Structure 1
Amino acid sequence: MFQSYDGLCGIGELAERAGVTVKTVRFYSDNGLLPEASRSAGGHRRYGPDSLERLRMIRSLRTMDLPVPTVRRILDEDDTAGRAGGALEDAVAGQLRTLGSQLRALRWREAALRSVQESPAAERAGRLRLIGTVAAPPSTAPLARFWRGWLPPRMPAGAVTAFLEVAVPQPPDDPEPGQVLAFAGLCAMVTGPCDGDEPTQPHAHRTAGARASAVLYAGLAEAYDLAGIEMRQDRGPGPGDALDGFVDAYASARNTADTPDFRRALAQRLAADPRIDRYWELTAELVSPPGGRPEPTPGTAHDWLLAALESQSVPR
């Protein structure tokens, strides 16, 4: 309670008690956040006993960088329900998302700067140009565009989404310098000019239609997962469920049987297909623990399965 004859206080006293400036109190009042109780005969603002706590609440909300309209919604909800509820929860959640994005950007920039600092002097300019093309935090949109152009046309949306989840690596939130370089290299690779006229789409992946394409890529995803398990256990390419699923994906997409002749022909076609090994090498650098064991990728799993297929498909 203010120690005045009418239980109210002026703008200067309110500002002093709240630890803010008179200009701040006037701004909140003019924007409808801090209602006046009355005006004096001389036109000076007078505030009620609840104004001090309300002003402290406003200051706390603004300290979290909440905009004035959001603060108004929170205060209106508090006035109506007697407590801050959904509006405050939504605002805090939104600020946490924004802060998380800002922190990821800062960590990415720090790793990028370290990659330049740690490089030999002769390589710094080129490395700076490379990482300078990637936003912070980085976007995987260029990689997704590349694969959408690489996939067979008219593939079902669900099949495309499932493929992109395994083919497009997500940059780490707290990257090492080498991971920043790997991601920048991936972006440069998929946005740079292509060499020659040879399409990147493998001949063996060209199927009769969208449905067959979906069957093929779903089967390959399962086979790559199984091959990844074998690779993590240091098992060399060989027969088993992974290879059988790999061959079955191609056979099912072509509505044909898995026979020795089919396996021999498939091995020859896959061996002759265009390759994007560099993409998978960079992906492995990006998703693997720094200095640790390389994680299998769809590309390295494909190579493992092809080697297993070739070991079985000795020409007659």
Structure 2
Amino acid sequence: MDGATLYSIGELSRRTGLSVTTIRFYSDSGVVAPTRRTPAGYRLYDLDALLRLELVRTLRELGMDLATVRQVLNRELTVAEVAAAHADAVDVQIRLLQLRRSVLRVVAKRGSDPEETKLMHRLTQLSGDERRRLIDDFLDGTFGTEAVGADPVILAMIRSATPDLPDDPSPEQVAAWVELAELVGDPDFRTRMRRAAPYQAGRRTLDIEARAGDELMEFTRQKVAEAREAGIDPLDDRAAPIVDDLVRRFAEVFDRAPDPEFRTWMARQFEPAHDPRVERYWRLVWAVRGRQVVPGLLPIHPWLIQALRSSHDA
């Protein structure tokens, strides 16, 4: 085979694997023009045309549109430039497919109805910027300059844990994100979050905490944090000795007997800083972020209140 060899359209088809119809289309559209025609009008192509056709086939198989292929052939774009752009586009497609796969798994696992499935799909289709804007709108509406009790420290604390879906979320992360998106749009939840956040950020102190003193409260936070990190459920029997010791220490400070009545009183004193929906928010945030253990942003109050009431009921 040399530069003087000419090929019929059938021979090009055999060498390139492209159909005669496809080659004829490329030829008619000027992508790969015939070198010349026979007296009978049959098209003939040289080696350069063969190489161009092989390049066209490769680029098309990589997903490039015909207009882009034409730009490469005309040297208006380099293959490297086009490859980089298409690699980015493929990355986006992969992320969308991964996200779609996770949504489908959630739907299959939960047996979602059509309305929930549509909502889930719509929320997960939001871009990263749109998802961040949804959370930003929630934070600004709840703690912004015009919000009651606005505090930059609280806002900074909550922004530090802003959730977003990874490129390849698990079904659990998708489910958590959808629930979180619905939660932050609820006006009632915004009120609850605004009320509870000052306690979480240490900007407001409960009366029992002020009277107990810094030393005992720091000890309490440490013991509850250790219990949580060890995976000790507040309703577990393993929580009993921890709570018994804390009740005894608080009873000494308040000059009370460490009896069931005092335990009930303690639980009630800690309740203003605890809201189940706010606790749920933090658990969803860390589920979206792929964390199994909820960090210290979740206050001691939920664990302690449950443990106090459980030991009293027992």
Q: Could you say whether these structures have the same fold, taking a TM-score greater than 0.5 normalized by the shorter chain as the test?
A: yes
Separation (CA, whole Å) in 2 of partners of 1:296 and 1:149? 25
Separation (CA, whole Å) in 1 of partners of 2:92 and 2:107? 23
**Could you give the per-residue CA deviations for residues 17-40 of structure 1, whole angstroms, max 9, x where no partner exists?**
211112211222333332332233
Separation (CA, whole Å) in 2 of partners of 1:15 and 1:165? 60
Deviation at 1:284, TM superposition (A): 3.2
**Could you give the per-residue CA deviations for residues 231-274 of structure 1, whole angstroms, max 9, x where no partner exists?**
686599xxxxxxxxxxxxxxxxxxxxxxxxxxxxxx99x94999
Match of 1:132 in 2: 118
Q: Is the 8 A contact 1:2 1:9 kept in 2?
A: no
Match of 1:259 in 2: none
**Could you give the per-residue CA deviations for residues 28-87 of structure 1, whole angstroms, max 9, x where no partner exists?**
23333323322334443321112222212211111121111222233334x99xxx5532
Structure 1 vs Structure 2 CA RMSD: 4.6
Match of 1:70 in 2: 68
Separation (CA, whole Å) in 2 of partners of 1:161 and 1:34? 60
Match of 1:195 in 2: 188
Separation (CA, whole Å) in 2 of partners of 1:48 and 1:160? 69
1:284 to 267, 283, 286: 286
**Could you give the per-residue CA deviations for residues 175-195 of structure 1, whole angstroms, max 9, x where no partner exists?**
13x333222211222234x23
SS in 1 for 2:121: coil
**What TM-score results when the alignment is normalised by the length of structure 2?**
0.56
Separation (CA, whole Å) in 1 of partners of 2:158 and 2:116? 27
Superposition pairs of residues 106-185 of structure 1, within 5 angstroms:
106-117=100-111, 124-125=112-113, 129-135=115-121, 137-139=124-126, 140=131, 141-153=133-145, 164=159, 166-171=161-166, 173-176=168-171, 178-185=172-179
Distance 1:47 1:165, change over 3 A: farther
Distance 1:152 1:203, change over 3 A: farther
SS in 2 for 1:36: coil
* More moved, 167-176 vs 52-61: 167-176
Higher Rg? 2
Q: Which ranges in structure 1 are unaligned for 5 or more consecutive residues?
A: 118-123, 206-215, 217-226, 237-266, 309-316
1:59 maps to a residue whose letter is R
Separation (CA, whole Å) in 2 of partners of 1:165 and 1:130? 30
Count of residue pairs brought into register by the alignment: 234
Distance 1:102 1:27, change over 3 A: farther
Distance 1:73 1:90, change over 3 A: farther
Separation (CA, whole Å) in 1 of partners of 2:92 and 2:177? 23
Superposition pairs of residues 189-268 of structure 1, within 5 angstroms:
189-192=183-186, 194-195=187-188, 198=191, 200-202=193-195
Match of 1:98 in 2: 92
2:284 maps to a residue whose letter is L
Separation (CA, whole Å) in 1 of partners of 2:293 and 2:285? 10
Separation (CA, whole Å) in 2 of partners of 1:45 and 1:69? 23
* Residue 53 (1) aligns with residue 51 (2): yes
**Taking every aligned residue pair, what percent have the same amino acid on both sides?**
24
Separation (CA, whole Å) in 2 of partners of 1:180 and 1:99? 18
Deviation at 1:133, TM superposition (A): 0.4
SS in 2 for 1:46: strand
SS in 1 for 2:74: helix
Deviation at 1:306, TM superposition (A): 11
2:181 maps to a residue whose letter is C
Distance 1:295 1:71, change over 3 A: farther
